[in-house]
Amino acid sequence: MLDIHVHHIHIKRMTALAKYLEDIGKTDAYLASKVGCDRSMITKIRAGRVTPSLPLAIAIASETGVPVEALLPVAPPKRPRSVRASV
């Protein structure tokens, strides 16, 4: 009998915040205490699961040097709406 196991490999893109925390050897709880939010919020932001509010993104950027743009999602450019002339 042949027993085959398939393992899913998930490759996560390391966020700028995750890289920063790894580089300085600090925890999510450490950063949360510095910026005045809950540790779980930093964990979610670090993992790219949630987007911080603008004030929180600014606080994180000020504390870490990670650009605000790296903490906020990039929206695709909006297409101009086509305008129909009235006849």
Instruction: List pLDDT tens digits, range 33-84.
Output: 999 999 999 999 998 889 999 999 999 999 999 999 989 877 666 776 766 6
C-alpha–C-alpha distance, residues 17 and 28, integer Å = 10
| CATH annotation of 16-71 | 1.10.260.40
Q: Check pLDDT > 50 for residue 9.
A: no
pLDDT value of residue 7: 47
- Residue ranges of the domains in the chain? 16-71
Query: CB burial class (10 A; 0-12, 13-18, 19+) of residue 8?
Result: exposed
pLDDT band of 13, cuts 50, 70, 90: low
Entry pTM: 0.70
Q: Which residues 6+ apart lie within 8 Å of 66 measured at CB?
A: 16, 17, 20, 60
